Chain A
């Protein structure tokens, strides 16, 4: 039943994106940093809001489609990450476009009822388009979510290499009144934030990988060199087969991660997913460009809409080195004898989870 519902969701989102955006549109809107009309379409389709009754798995399907379409919308930050933090603090965000600070900030203890946050230099995805910015912070050892209006942050407009807003805070110090500091009851929510961000990027990568492969297959069939289609050259067939294997593997790894995160007992698989998707992004982007030749390197042809996303997303929320190291440390610390049992466990826990469950 769940699968069926998710299939319907995927179709609906794909239709919205198919009608509402294109590579050309994404390119044209890059200077603005938001496809506002499309983002409003997400609202109309009921994809934005607090209590939509959709699970993490469903939201990851939406994100895959966003990646597949190369759409310029802040779905991951506004509808997954901000809602996650808001839920942990018992906040409602309504239909606001929201975003988060992706790291836990140590705040100075409240003086006169207000806490002081120093966010200078912090990057905030889609900040300029958000009406609310949620900041996970620690005040005197306790966890809070600070609910901030972006105007106070004095954001400088910047972007990642895919042209998505990654604005930087210029304000030196921020006074947050107690009424805007919401205590967090679920302490694990902060620990999971970077993993959840990694899962979001993985979902989007999986979508972008599929489109990159499709473009490469199409181009190889259309483009003729030395009297025959590129697709008739065995080496090109081999490249495309390798890309297809990577796309398939990244999809399976992502599904593993979604399972671990949804059950909240296997965050190790989220690390697996981000590493595997990053590896796939490397291979697929490289080979897609190799197959496309020089035209793929220009703005005349849309491949870059997806490859620039792959290159940006594989780094955000931890690249292969970051998560590979976390995975490796966790397994090495567990020792030789527990290595294989953990590989075969339905719930692949990180060391931190194991400690948590042992307590």
Chain B
């Protein structure tokens, strides 16, 4: 049993990040005043606005931690944390670039060739290139090692055939990361390879998978004998699993795992303040705040550990489990405090935010590995399996 490995060391943000935070807040104030966006729930999935992404790129707020020669800005993980937590808390439209900026760039940095880095990273950092992650499949779900999409060697490279689902923003993406099976022999984890595929190839089709509320974020992407050159391989044949697990550790612990409903929570504070009987709301809000403040500290601790070269994959899983359940409880608390008729786009701001949250809440504990999968990871670290 390794309880010590499941603890996190508190890290404070450098005081130097404060000026950057104020700069982001000022930018957000201006954008809201200009009518660019209305704060929304789950903005990193729902708020796709390529023009907004480009503005962030121009400010140097995409690819912040990447080296400058690849279009990055050589800033720290903490600085990036500050920028993204401010954007998320504001409910700003950051979905278009989210996947590319969060994980694709880092994978290119860690595993890509010099050529691949130079080809893709600068455009992502400018907010001009958007990626879709084609990982899961209809029969795969959270069990990514069971991927069936096949890539077979051809005279000039590889030919990919298969069906991918849950690819966010595929409808605006210009490139895809595609996880495909290059070998059926040996351990199934070892037969996976990641490919970089441009949208323009022949045989690639994108079809919307509309959410239950009619919104379009997810897509199905099919590959029918899609031909790619050898240079499309990322990190080498059979390296897909290593790449995926590295991405997931980063993907799981970010502030988007507990800030998806922050606009609703802020609205709840405002609503409570406007009512004489707010004393009823004080305790439930306070109990949520205690969780939020703790989650934020945990997330900063994980980011700092990643920066220091550690691999806090288990803690990341644990933060996501706690964070996504917190998000669900914010919605539940809102309902417990005030009667509401959830309604999208109505005049009642609170009813709108509740409607947005209610119809997205189930995905909180599904995306990026279901909470059941996450608990499996923690259980393994406890020596139980």
Chain A interfacial positions (CB closer than 8 Å to B): 210, 213-214, 217-218, 220-221, 231-232, 234, 236-238, 240-242, 244-245, 247-249, 251-253, 255-256, 259, 269, 271-273, 275-276, 279, 320-321, 323-329, 331-333, 335-336, 339-340, 343-344, 346, 348
Contact = CB atoms under 8 A, between A and B. Distances in A.
Query: Is chain A's interface secondary structure helix, strand, loop, or mixed overall?
Result: helix
Nearest to B374: A241
B372 interface: yes
Contacts, number: 179
A244 B315 CA distance: 10
Interface string B1-13: 1010011101011
A214 B1 contact: yes
20 contacts: A210-B3, A214-B1, A240-B378, A240-B382, A241-B321, A247-B3, A253-B293, A269-B293, A276-B294, A320-B290, A324-B286, A325-B283, A326-B286, A328-B272, A328-B283, A331-B289, A336-B266, A336-B269, A340-B266, A343-B289
A320 B292 CA distance: 14
B250 interface: no
Contacts of B201: none
B322 A320 contact: no
A244 B378 contact: yes
A348 B8 contact: no
B267 A328 contact: no
B7 A251 contact: yes
Nearest to B15: A346
Nearest to B265: A339
B239 interface: no
Nearest to B287: A324
A309 B345 CA distance: 50
B186 interface: no
A241 B379 contact: yes
B376 interface: yes
Interface string B284-298: 111101111111111
Given A251-B7, A339-B266, A333 B297 contact: no
Interface in B260-275: 262, 265-267, 269-270, 272-273
B384 A240 contact: yes
B85 interface: yes
Contacts of B284: 324, 328
Nearest to B375: A241
Nearest to A274: B290
Query: Which of B10, B13, B278, B283 has most A Cβ within 10 Å?
Result: B283
Nearest to B292: A343
Contacts of B278: 329, 332
B385 to A, nearest CB: 6
B147 interface: no
A106 to B, nearest CB: 25
Contacts of A279: 287, 290-291
Contacts of B269: 331-332, 335-336, 339
Contacts of A346: 12-13, 15
Contact of B8 (A221, A248, A331): A248
Q: What 3 A-B pairs come out closest when comparing CB atoms? A: A328-B286, A336-B270, A328-B282
B372 A217 contact: no
A206 B102 CA distance: 33
A331 B285 contact: yes
Given A249-B294, A331-B269, A340-B89, A238 B384 contact: no
Nearest to B301: A252
